[in-house]
Amino acid sequence: MDKLHIGLWLAEHLDTVIGFVLLLGACLMLPKSVRWYVFTGGAALLLMNLWQVARAREKLKKLDSERSALQEQLSGLKDASEQLKQRNQELEKQSAELEQQRQALLQRQQDLASGDAALQQQQEDINRQVNNHAEQRNALQDENQRVLDALAKLKQLEATSQL
């Protein structure tokens, strides 16, 4: 296992190892009076390069994990958006059905109003039903508006998360 780690490290830092070998070779060809200056400067540059590469890899791993988290969040937002769209369609369908029922009740109310005074009780019942349906429709419209607002917020979050 250690040989594998050493091999991977050498593969990742082959440029630094080659640079160090070339630095040693160049230093051996130089006169002794400047050899240590060149070796010290070259080693410092190689170590600084090694440090920069290590920092860049750390940042890359961190950014990669952030990207993965954002992708998961985006997936969750897309699922929530689809659910809200389906709920919105259901609410719109219910609202349309209630509106049709309300129109039918209004028509029936008009028919009863033109009729006889003995039908007054039925008319009051219908009025209550119309009011109940109107309240239900208003409640559904309010819920529909909340769903649309939530959908807009999700789309906004989705747009910002894609940036």
Residue pLDDT, tens place only, 82-125 = 999 999 999 999 999 999 999 999 888 777 667 665 567 777 88
Residues spanned by the domain of 12 = 2-162
Q: How many structural domains compose the chain?
A: 1
Q: How many CB atoms lie within 10 A of CB 1?
A: 5
Phi, psi of 116 (to 5 degrees): -80, 155
Between CA 155 and CA 74 the distance in angstroms is: 10
Residue 56 to residues 5, 50, 51, 52, 59, Cα–Cα distance (Å) = 20, 10, 9, 6, 5
Q: What is the pTM of this model?
A: 0.47
Q: What is the mean pLDDT of residues 9-16?
A: 80
- At residue 124, the pLDDT reads 84
Structure tokens of 35?
A: 């050899």
Report which DSSP code applies to 30. Answer: S
Between CA 26 and CA 43 the distance in angstroms is: 12
Report which DSSP code applies to 157. Answer: H
